Structure formats: structure tokens, C-alpha cells
Amino acid sequence: MNQDRKIRVMVAKPGLDGHDRGAKVIARALRDSGMEVIYTGIRQTPEQIVEAALQEDVNALLLSILSGAHGFLFPRIMELLKEKGLTDILVLGGGIIPEEDIPELKALGISEIFGPGMASEILINYIRENI
């Protein structure tokens, strides 16, 4: 990627889940690391998130969910991204996601799932190395 342009990241909260402490902390840590960060706010539909990702021309899309609805919402978001031709966006997931669900989510094209207690540096490095 062109080093002159800042990495643009969208942190999104799909579904009805209101827990966004992690999403906000991550968003701020990414911003402090020099990335441009857009936070969608809570209670976003997959359609709203994908449309925003398109409009904002982001390099990475970070999905945070703690309600257990990832099994429906993540596949829907991946499907919409594909429909819009946004397959080059790096998609990552975080929140409370059982390990047994991870292989299925990765098969959809989600690059990595990060769980609770992860240091933000790990995520920052992962994004830098993978876009």
C-alpha cells in the first residue's frame, strides 16, 4: 500500500449489542498509533456497516460483538462486502466469540478473531502487516 496515505480503519458494532467499551478503546488505540479511525457507533445493521465501509474507503473493517449474534451477522456482512466488490478490505472480528466458531468465520474470509485481554499493539501490528 502507498505509505503516503494513512491506514483507514472502521470499527463497527453490528447487531443490537450495546457493549462498546472494547470497540472504543481499540478505536482510540488505533488512532493514537497514527491510523485514521471511523467508529460507527452501536446498533448498526450489516447493510449500514458495508455502506459506510464503501463510502469511507477503508483498508480494514473491525467488527466487535459480544451478544453471540456473530453467527448470523458476520456471514451477512461478508456476503454484502462481496456483493459490493469490497473483497480487498481486511476484516477482523473481536468480542466474545467461542473458539469453536472461529474456523467457520475464517472460512468466510474474516482474517482473524481477537478475544478479550488482547494488547492493542498486537492488533496494530497485525493490521500493518496484513493490509
Partner 1 sequence: MKKGTQNIKEEEERWKKDCLGKYTFKKSETDWGMEIKTLYTQNDIQEIDYLEDIGFPGEYPFTRGVHPSMYLGRLWTMRQYSGYGTAEETNTRYKYLLEQGQTGLSVAFDLPTQIGYDSDHPLSQGEVGKVGVAVDSLADMEILFDKLPLDRLSTSMTINAPAAILLAMYLAVAEKQGVEPEKLNGTIQNDILKEYTVRGTYIFPVGPSLRLITNVFEYCSKNVPKWNTINIAGYHMREAGATAVQEIAFTFADAIEYVNAGINAGLDVDEFAPRISWIFNTHNNFFEEIAKYRAARRLWAKLMKHRFGAKNPKSWMFRFHTQTAGSALTAQQPLNNVVRVAFQTLAAVLGGAQSLASCSFDEALALPTEESVRLSLRTQQLIAHELGVTETVDPMGGSFYIENLTKRMEEEIVSYIDKIDQMGGAAAAIEKGYIQQEIQESAYLNQKDVESGKKVVVGVNKYQVEETSPQGLLKVDPSVGEIQVEKLKNLKVTRDNVRVESALTELKKAAEGDGNLMPPIIESVKTYATLGEICGVLRGVFGEYEGTSSI
d(CA 119, CA 72): 27
Element (H, E) at 65: strand 60-65
Q: With respect to partner 1, which residue has the nearer C-beta, 88 or 99?
A: 99
Is residue 7 within 8 A of residue 36, CB to CB? The reply is yes
- Nearest distance from C-beta of residue 111 to partner 1, angstroms: 20
Q: Which residues bind partner 1 (CB under 8 A)?
A: 11, 15-21, 24-25, 27-29, 31, 37, 39-43, 45, 67-73, 96, 98-100, 115-117, 119-121
Q: With respect to partner 1, which residue has the nearer C-beta, 45 or 111?
A: 45
- Nearest distance from C-beta of residue 119 to partner 1, angstroms: 5
- Nearest distance from C-beta of residue 66 to partner 1, angstroms: 8
Q: In what order do the strands lie in the sheet with 8-12?
A: 36-39, 8-12, 60-65, 90-95, 112-114
